[in-house]
Structures are given as structure tokens and as C-alpha cells.
Structure 1
Amino acid sequence: MAYRTVLVGTDGSASSFRAVSAAASLAAATGATLVLACAYLPMRESERAAAADRLGELAYKVTGSTPADDALRAAREHAVAAGATDVVLTADQGDAVDVLIAAAARHHADLLVVGNRGLNSLAGRLLGSVPSAVTHRAACDVLVVHTTDGGR
């Protein structure tokens, strides 16, 4: 089966960029569109005000979707370096799992790629992890990329 649209989640972390690179290599090899998705949660007003006091004119960097947009720009660099040519960015407010599932449906993704971060942690086993939840809820194929050293 050739994938036409590959969606990968990123949060701007080094481990998520490893998943982005793997997804980009696969998209490049199959000629697929690569969708980079990032979830963000709104800041409480008290947190935003405290950040604005500390950051002054740079406060916009932690407001709204700006951190997600920054993560997506960095992820695009990793994707292009790995060979992806058709790259789409999407930042959506909400829980990571909900955002990834909705973005996969909206973009008609054939494959959803996530890193394994959280699968080997105690919190991940007790509370559920993004990769685990995505594999249970996705309506498309899911690839879990080993992006951390845990359990290896």
C-alpha cells in the first residue's frame, strides 16, 4: 500500500523531531504529502500575565499558538532535511491525542506517525500515553517510531 498522506505529531522536542524525520523519509519515498501537526493548550490569564511581565516585548512568544507555530517551523526544517517536499503545517488547540486524531481525519491521512515517548514511562503506563491512545483511536495505520532510549 502506498501512503498518500502521512501525518506526524510534534511538540518541538528532540524526540518528536526524530519521528518527524522518519515520517518525512517515508513520505519522500512514497511521494506522499507530509502533514506536521502540533497541539497546544491556551495559557491561563495569570500565567500569560506573569510571562508578559518577565518577557516584556517578547511575551508574544508564549501566547496562543506561537509556541506550536515555532515547533512546526523547526519540524519543517527536519522534514525537508529528510527529503519531504510537500509539507503542510497545522497547529490546533486541544489535547494532543484529540488534535492528532482530528487532523488525521481532516487531512485524510493514510498513516499517522508518533514517537514512542511515554510508552515506557510509569506515568504513561498508569495514565495512558499519546502513542498508546492514538493506536487505539486512529482510523488509519499508525507507525510508532522509537525516538527514545527507554526500553531498548
Structure 2
Amino acid sequence: MAYRTVLVGTDGSASSFRAVSAAASLAAATGATLVLACAYLPMRESSRAAAADALGDLAYKVSGSTPADDALRAAREHAVAAGASQIVLAAEEGDAVDALVKLAGTHRADLLVVGNRGLNSLAGRLLGSVPSSVTHRATCDVLVVHTTSGK
């Protein structure tokens, strides 16, 4: 089966960029479109006001989807370096798992790629991790990329 659309989640962390690179290599090899996805949560008004006071003219950097957009732009650089050419950026408000599953459906992804961060942690075992939850909820294939040592 050839993948036509590969969606990968990123939060701007180094480990998520390893998943982006793996997904981009796969997309390049199969000629698939790569969808870079990032979830974000709206900032509470009190937090936004405090940030605006502290950051002044740079306050826009922490409001709305701007942090997610910044993570997506950085992820695009990793994707291009790994060979992807057809790249779509998608920021979605909400919990990471909900956003990834929703975006996978919206973009008709054949494959959803996530990193393994959280799978081997105590919190991940007790509360559930993004990779674990995505594998249970996604309606497409899921690839969990080894992006952390698991220690």
C-alpha cells in the first residue's frame, strides 16, 4: 500500500522534529503529501494580559495560534531537509490527541506519525500518552517513531 497523505504531529520539541524527519523521508519516498500538524490551547485572558505586559510589542508571539505556527515553520525546515516537497501546515485548537485525530480525518491521511515521547514514562502509563491514545483513536495507520531514549 502506498501512502498518499502522511500526517505528523509536532509540538516544536527536538523529539517531535525527529518524528517530522522520519515522516518527511517516508513521504518523499512514496510521493505523498506531508501534513505537519500542531495542536494548541487558547491562552486564558489573565495569562495573556500578563504576557502582554511582560512582552510589550512581542506579546503576539504567545497569543492564539502563533506558537503553533512557529513550531510548524520550524518543522517545515526539518521536513524539507529530509526530502519532503509537498507540505501542508495545519494548526488546530484543542488537545493534542483530539487535534491529530481530527486533522487526520480532515486531510484524509493514510498514515499518522507520532513520536514515542510519553510511552515509557510513569505519567504516560498512569494518565495515557499522546502516542498511545492516537493508536487507539485513529482510523488510519499509525507509525510511532522512536524519538526518545525511553529512560
CA distance in structure 1 between the aligned counterparts of 2:35 and 2:46, rounded to whole angstroms: 33
CA distance in structure 2 between the aligned counterparts of 1:8 and 1:64, rounded to whole angstroms: 21
Unpaired segments of 5 or more residues in structure 1? none
**Matched letter for residue 35 of structure 1:** V
CA distance in structure 2 between the aligned counterparts of 1:128 and 1:114, rounded to whole angstroms: 14
CA deviation profile, 1:110-139 (whole Å, cap 9, x unmatched): 000000001011110000000000000010
Shift of 1:35: 0.2
Q: TM-score scaled by structure 2?
A: 0.99
Q: TM-score scaled by structure 1?
A: 0.98
SS for the counterpart of 1:117 is: coil
What fraction of aligned residue pairs are identical, expressed as a percent? 86
Q: Which residue of 1 aligns with 2:68?
A: 68
Shift of 1:150: 1.2
Between the two proteins, the alignment pairs up a number of residues equal to: 151
CA distance in structure 1 between the aligned counterparts of 2:92 and 2:142, rounded to whole angstroms: 20
Q: Which residue of 2 aligns with 1:88?
A: 88
**Matched letter for residue 67 of structure 2:** P
CA deviation profile, 1:42-67 (whole Å, cap 9, x unmatched): 00011101111110000000000000
* 1:56 matches 2:52: no
Q: Which residue of 1 aligns with 2:28?
A: 28
Q: Which residue of 2 aligns with 1:148?
A: 148
**Matched letter for residue 126 of structure 1:** L
